[in-house]
Amino acid sequence: MIPMQSEQTDQICAALIKVHSSIGDVPKSGEGDKNTYATVEDIMGAINAPCEKYGVLVCPWPMWIDGQHVMILHLMHPESKQFMNGYWPLDADANKYITGSQGRGSAATYAKRYLITNMLRLKLSDETDDDGKSASRQPKKEQKKEQKSGADTSYIWTLLNKEPNKEQKNALLKDLCKQIGVPLLKDFNAAQVEEAIEMLENYFKE
């Protein structure tokens, strides 16, 4: 298994926050059944200049990990040699919504878009989009269930990792869950994630 991040992440986290604050509106050139959406090309076009300015490399590529086909997103800060990795499964047996070669291609595109959007915390208004339909279409009951909890918390970890002291970071996480009123970070819903992010951003500004 590849490491998810370098031993130290303070400099890459600081750079990612600057990148996030510098990214403007992401255009939407993709046309789905009912709405438009930001394609991978739209997203890369929006992030290229901020990432270059603050020294962050964004490298997505498919690879095999422990016998599983996954899409990796590697964020690298060459100046400090710090990095972060995220991945998304592409195998049919790991993702039941992937079927056939066309489905795998759609899943790869969707995986890039999902990883970049969430790891850089891009704000897109099309939370439910038509990109990668065959990879992401789910029964309505399952969609409603997922909306209640299990919201993406990757940016919360990005902020928490700015704290170099492990004990302090754990204490910060515990206090965060206590203030939100949910024992485990993985159970935060979307609104609680946004609240937690605002609290952490204010904390690190002080």
pTM for the whole thing? 0.57
Query: For the chain, what are the domain ranges?
Result: 1-137, 149-206
Model confidence pLDDT, tens digit, residues 148-200: 444 678 888 888 888 888 888 888 898 888 888 888 888 888 778 888 887 88
Question: For the ranges 90-99, 127-136, 184-193, which has the lowest average pLDDT?
Answer: 127-136
Half-sphere exposure of 44 (CA within 13 A, CB side): 11
Dihedral of the CA atoms 168, 174, 180, 185 (nearest 10)?
110
Identify the band that residue 126 occupies on the pLDDT scale cut at 50, 70 and 90.
very low
